[in-house]
Structure 1
């Protein structure tokens, strides 16, 4: 006798959430998967990221974590990666300074040494003093996703509009899948064209 496998509860689910210029949006994301969400224009991606991370209350709709409403849990477990008006670093900051600051927030010991190791691991040591606004798009997303994931409680990554930096769609898509393969829940907010290209 065969038994039908019951669908797993999404790690994060948004039902009809809206605020400001963002129209009602649904998101279902599970651990170990990459969820692509098409978001067009202005601050919509920032608003959506903030609501998914429990940092903004939707005007309508609900966000659930593991099947229930838990804004505190969202704030603890969700990291927003490179959102233009929220978490993106100032373009003029050196790459090494950005990484060190993020690792300090993550509570790592000896953050400067950890920064040197991280940049070496990513083959970016030669760009340590380069303003992050001048760092190639693929490397930027790779590094900012890695530092966001360094926070010990984070297991959900919301990568905001990586396509705005240009470059090859496959680069940030590969980064998203690499973290999903490690068991993270990964949500990428991007333009419809970028979502189509990635999908």
Structure 2
């Protein structure tokens, strides 16, 4: 049984779409344009009701469960940090949302663990794409109860497709259900 299943969901500019995502796997979903990724991620996470169709968590409709268990990573108009914010500030804020105690110390540890201490003052808009996706995915996964990650159009930042694909697969290997919303071209390249 899929951890998350959407059948015929649609809203706004989104044509009806089906998604089945399983724990320990990466599910690639083709979307074109940031707004579509935002709408789709909001519907899949229980934060927006679809105009039609249904989203199920572990085989049943559970919007509250979706909101608790699904984290949206870097969706353009939903969860993406402003480009002018420094990496350290964004990481610390995300760790505050995750409910971690001593978020400043946790931020320094996270950046050190990732080998990014020297980039702490670099603004989000100037980070390499693979760093941005890796760090934002890790901070999203730090939230209590989150076991489903929706990574929204990481290909919009450029960079190596293998880098965001590796990040997605690394979190799936930890048992997370990972959904990547990306352009059809990026998905084709990631599957090669």
**Length-normalised TM-score, structure 1:** 0.95
Aligned positions of 1:35-114 closer than 5 A = 35-114=27-106
Q: CA deviation at 1:41?
A: 2.0
CA RMSD of aligned residues (A): 0.5
2:172 to 150, 168, 180: 180
Give CA deviations for 1:55-88 in whole Å, capped at 9, x if unaligned: 0000000000000000000000000000000000
Aligned positions of 1:1-199 closer than 5 A = 9-199=1-191
Point out the structure with max Rg over C-alpha. Answer: 1
Q: Distance in 1 between matches of 2:132 and 2:113?
A: 14
Structure 1 stretches of 4+ moved >6 Å: none
Q: Distance in 2 between matches of 1:136 and 1:151?
A: 24
Number of aligned residues: 191
Q: Distance in 1 between matches of 2:156 and 2:140?
A: 19
Q: CA deviation at 1:29?
A: 0.2
Give CA deviations for 1:80-136 in whole Å, capped at 9, x if unaligned: 000000000000000000000000010111100110010011111011011111110
**Structure 1 spans left out of the alignment, 5+ residues:** 1-8
**Structure 2 spans left out of the alignment, 5+ residues:** none
Give CA deviations for 1:13-55 in whole Å, capped at 9, x if unaligned: 0001000000001100000000000001241010000000000
Secondary structure of 1:23's aligned partner:
coil
